């Protein structure tokens, strides 16, 4: 236990990072949330759904929209920030026949992660090459 | 599947800039936009197409081109650099004594803006300090892993014989007083618990030691203690690790029919220095443009030298003689980044960190999605 300024015991929730929290069920029972990070808005079908992300903004919204629109199974993808003073971001995905929006969203996230790896790899190589000049 | 030719792809990269309007602004590399073409996400194609060129790389100021990205991705990196990369800054100030003429609240807000640096691994070890809000009054317990303690205790006094010199007419404060200027370097760090060990050889210190905080006269004193915490620019601009992080698109200048003689010199003056160069007309040029260049071999003509220096002022479009001979534009996927760090991070490391943060965001959402699907 690290030393404390005010000589008090540190509560356990302060010691843990916020990443590993168990998922909870929403009050209206309509959606299940992971620490309120993501939920599906009502009216969703297998091929058309709106997701609401807690604590996300244009940064992830627009990047995710781009990468999902690159998927040929996607008929429509768009995002919006319903209100500027609420940190919520809505993402709408509609797919062509028989393709699940959930798998499309997951593929989008995976593609974005791969993209980041490639950018890091290329950037590091270019920087190191420039440093050697 | 139809494959677009290299020439088509080059043309599609360009957005047009006219005298009063812009054209072809949005990207079109999506499945279904161009009949018969693929354009679905292809990691290998992306890897082969992506190019990074460094123009300068100092620790406080880096400039580099990233070619082959979409604006939505490049903008995500820029936004993250400004608002989501953590640094430490003073968040709470406890005033014990302030008889200087600068008011407590003004002094406190100035102090908050001073950038502090320390060992990178130590800052990574630091955890977030949760502040209380109106809706949620709970907050973290201050401890060595979430609070950095700093002290400022400084008193202004007369120098030896200063009073006599003042009576004699001396007005230069440097010759009269001690500690009449309070600088960022006067802050002392008070390590708590494991901090000494975690920061070790790179203690917490202001990035710039000579930031002027207040001015005092003999008899005045400032004594305060501060809590610095780790935070992000989205919460308060004082946590932002950059002075600016910005990008612009690479300008293009296409001269469609030759500009020669006095016109060429005038054309060159429409642009910043170094954008347009003058060359003499060769026999080859005359063969290519017989109508315009007949008998003009050896005269000067305008050629594009370095379009990156262009500010896209559109001055050349205001002149009748150039209007139809030149086409201005920008490359939609060529981002010239400029990152100016405030000193806690190396500028190039900031970009890499922004890529890492975007990846972490995607991973976090993915975990949330998986949990929701269970």
> Could you tell me if the ipTM is greater than 0.85?
yes
Q: Is the pLDDT of residue B89 over 50?
A: yes
Provide the terminal-to-terminal Cα distance of chain B, rounded to the nearest Å: 38
A101 touches chain B (CB under 8 A): no
In this prediction, what percent of chain B has a pLDDT beyond 70? 100
A positions 39-78 inside 8 Å of B (CB): 39-40, 53, 56-60, 62-67, 69-72, 74
User: Which residues make beta-bridge pairs with B276?
Assistant: B304
Q: Which residues of B touch A4 (CB under 8 A)?
A: 141-144, 193
Give A63-84 pLDDT, tens digit per residue.
999 999 999 999 999 999 999 9
Pick among B46, B63, B76 to test the A interface (most A CBs inside 10 A): B76
- Rounded distance, CA B179 to CA B163, Å? 15
Tokens, residue B299: 């005269």
Split at pLDDT 50, 70, 90, the class of A30 is very low
Split at pLDDT 50, 70, 90, the class of B294 is confident
Phi, psi angle pair for B222, to nearest 5°:
-120, 125
Q: Sheet of A74-80: strands edge to edge?
A: A38-40, A48-54, A88-95, A74-80
pLDDT at A17: 41
Tell me the CB-side half-sphere exposure of residue A3, using CA atoms within 13 A: 10
Q: Note whether B348 and A127 are within 8 A (CB).
A: yes
Split at pLDDT 50, 70, 90, the class of B373 is confident
Q: Is the pLDDT of residue B331 over 80?
A: yes
The whole-chain average pLDDT of chain B stands at 94
Give B182-227 pLDDT, tens digit per residue.
999 999 999 999 999 999 889 999 999 999 999 999 999 999 999 9
Split at pLDDT 50, 70, 90, the class of A36 is low
Q: Note whether B147 and B129 are within 8 A (CB).
A: yes
- Rounded distance, CA B239 to CA B253, Å? 40
**Mean per-residue pLDDT, A105-110:** 96
Task: State if pTM tops 0.80.
Answer: yes
Q: Note whether A21 and A15 are within 8 A (CB).
A: no
Give the gap in angstroms from C-alpha A86 to the nearest C-alpha of chain B. Answer: 13
**Residue B232's closest CA among B114, B121, B358, B80?**
B80
Give the three-class secondary structure for A12. helix
Give the gap in angstroms from C-alpha B193 to the nearest C-alpha of chain A. Answer: 5
Q: What is the CA radius of gyration of chain A?
A: 20
pLDDT at B130: 87
Give the gap in angstroms from C-alpha B141 to the nearest C-alpha of chain A. Answer: 7
């Amino acid at each position: 236990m690290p030393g404390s300024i005010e000589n008090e015991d540190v509560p356990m929730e302060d010691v843990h990072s916020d990443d590993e929290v168990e998922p909870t069920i929403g009050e209206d029972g309509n959606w299940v949330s992971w620490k309120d990070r993501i939920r599906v808005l009502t009216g969703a079908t297998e091929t058309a759904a709106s997701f609401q992300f807690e604590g996300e903004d244009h940064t992830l919204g627009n990047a995710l929209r781009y990468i999902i629109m690159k998927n040929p199974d996607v008929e429509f993808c768009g995002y919006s920030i319903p209100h500027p003073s609420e940190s919520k971001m809505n993402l709408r995905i509609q797919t062509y026949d028989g393709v699940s929006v959930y798998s499309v969203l997951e593929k989008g996230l995976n593609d974005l992660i791969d993209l980041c790896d490639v950018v890091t790899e290329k950037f590091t190589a270019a920087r190191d090459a420039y440093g050697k000049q | 599947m139809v494959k677009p030719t290299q020439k088509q792809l080059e043309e599609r990269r360009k957005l047009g800039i006219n005298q009063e309007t812009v054209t072809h602004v949005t990207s079109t590399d999506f499945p279904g936009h161009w009949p018969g073409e693929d354009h679905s996400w292809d990691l290998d194609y992306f890897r082969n197409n992506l190019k990074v060129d460094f123009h300068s790389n100092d620790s406080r100021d880096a400039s580099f081109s990233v070619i082959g990205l979409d604006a939505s991705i490049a903008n995500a990196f820029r936004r993250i650099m400004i608002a989501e990369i953590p640094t430490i800054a003073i968040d709470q100030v406890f005033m014990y004594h302030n008889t200087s003429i600068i008011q407590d609240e003004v002094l406190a807000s100035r102090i908050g803006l001073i950038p502090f640096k320390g060992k990178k691994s130590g800052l990574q070890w630091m955890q977030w300090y949760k502040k209380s809000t109106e809706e949620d009054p709970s907050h973290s317990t201050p401890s060595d892993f979430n609070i950095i303690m700093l002290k400022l205790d400084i008193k202004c006094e007369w120098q030896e014989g200063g009073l006599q010199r003042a009576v004699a007419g001396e007005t230069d404060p440097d010759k009269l007083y001690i500690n009449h200027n309070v600088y960022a370097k006067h802050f002392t760090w008070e390590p708590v618990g494991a901090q000494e060990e975690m920061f070790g050889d790179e203690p917490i210190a202001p990035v710039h030691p000579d930031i002027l905080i207040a001015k005092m006269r003999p008899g005045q004193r400032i004594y305060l203690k501060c809590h610095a915490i780790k935070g992000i620019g989205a919460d308060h601009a004082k946590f932002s690790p950059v002075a600016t992080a910005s990008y612009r698109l690479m300008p293009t200048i296409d001269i469609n029919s030759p500009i020669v003689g006095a016109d060429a010199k005038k054309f060159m003056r429409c642009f910043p220095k170094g954008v347009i160069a003058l060359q003499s007309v060769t026999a080859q040029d005359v063969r290519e443009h017989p109508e315009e260049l007949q008998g003009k071999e050896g005269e000067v003509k305008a050629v594009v030298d370095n379009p990156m220096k262009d500010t896209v002022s559109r001055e050349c479009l205001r002149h009748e003689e150039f209007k139809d001979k030149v086409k201005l534009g920008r490359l939609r996927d060529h981002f010239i980044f400029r990152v100016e760090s405030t000193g806690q991070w190396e500028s190039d490391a900031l970009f890499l960190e922004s890529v890492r943060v975007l990846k972490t965001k995607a991973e976090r959402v993915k975990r949330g999605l998986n949990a929701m699907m269970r």
